[in-house]
Amino acid sequence: DTAVSQTPKYLVTQMGNDKSIKCEQNLGHDTMYWYKQDSKKFLKIMFSYNNKELIINETVPNRFSPKSPDKAHLNLHINSLELGDSAVYFCASSQEGQGVGGELFFGEGSRLTVL
Amino acid sequence: QQQVKQSPQSLIVQKGGISIINCAYENTAFDYFPWYQQFPGKGPALLIAIRPDVSEKKEGRFTISFNKSAKQFSLHIMDSQPGDSATYFCAASFNKFYFGSGTKLNVKP
């Protein structure tokens, strides 16, 4: 049974469109995250939620909007997609917040390609 | 500004050899230093981690060496195997994780 699952695995869309990526974790963790991995494999945190409350909001364009309906789910909605949004987006969760060095459990990623 | 600098970017090692990946950091507030392993098409997964009160941690063939005064830490993979071929990320954590830029390891049979 997958611990952190995200859908869809692949997304191909045109510039200007809106898309969403969904994430669910069945580990009972309180904290969930969205990371972006660019073409050079660099991993950068975008958002962090603790028990549905936004904790970390990095310098991310406001076209990106996370939503956490409950502590097991964290979705990412992207408006007006741009070419530079093409990347692999990873959802992750941890038992504790990042400040105490909790292990991050990553999903398998959602590869977004904007044409 | 990259908080954690990782090198080399890529590494080719013969089967049975030792793979060494290095990381350096500046922020002395970091208190947790994990290494993550990522296979193609998969998410990163925790491999091994160390806290700054320890200079070395070993788990099987994987060892982290930590030099607090130099603000450097490294991953050593002994007896490297083709199945170790993956991208390795070091990270440092204080109030959030900062990842290195990754090292793509290729172990030749």
Give me chain B's average pLDDT, please: 95
Minimum CA–CA partner of A57 in chain B = B96
Indicate whether A96 pLDDT > 80.
no
State the amino acid at position A65 in one-letter form.
S
Positive or negative: CA dihedral A115, B2, B4, B5 = positive
The pLDDT of residue A95 is 84
Would you state the pLDDT for residue B1? 67
Instruction: Using the Cα atoms of residue A45, residue A51, residue A54 and residue A56 in order, give the sign of their dihedral.
Output: negative
Contacts with B79 (C-beta within 8 Å, 6 or more apart), sequence order = B16, B18, B61
Contact flag B96-A98 (C-beta cutoff 8 Å): yes
Give pLDDT, residue A33. Answer: 93
- How high is the pLDDT of residue A52? 83
CA of B16 vs chain A CAs: smallest distance (Å): 27
Higher pLDDT, A94 or B11: B11
Task: Identify the residue with better confidence: A27 or A102.
Answer: A27
Q: B73 or B95: which carries more pLDDT confidence?
A: B73
Cis before B82 (ω within 30) = no
**Nearest residue of B to residue A9, measured between CA atoms:** B41
If you search the block for the tokens 């469109």, which residue do you land on?
Answer: A17
> In the prediction, which pLDDT does A101 show?
61
pLDDT digits (tens, 9 = 90+) for B19-40: 999 999 999 999 999 999 999 9
Total Cβ atoms within 10 A of residue A44: 15
Instruction: Inspect the interface and report whether the beta carbons of A99 and B94 lie closer than 8 Å.
Output: yes
How far off is chain B from A41, nearest CA to CA, in Å? 7
Q: Which of B99, B103, B104 to mutate to test the interface with A (most CBs of A within 10 A)?
A: B99
| Residue A51, pLDDT score | 85
The span from the CA of A9 to the CA of B43, in Å, is 12
What pLDDT is stored for residue B94 in this prediction? 81
**pLDDT at B108 exceeding the cut of 90:** yes
Do residues B86 and B76 lie in contact, with contact meaning Cβ atoms separated by under 8 Å?
A: no
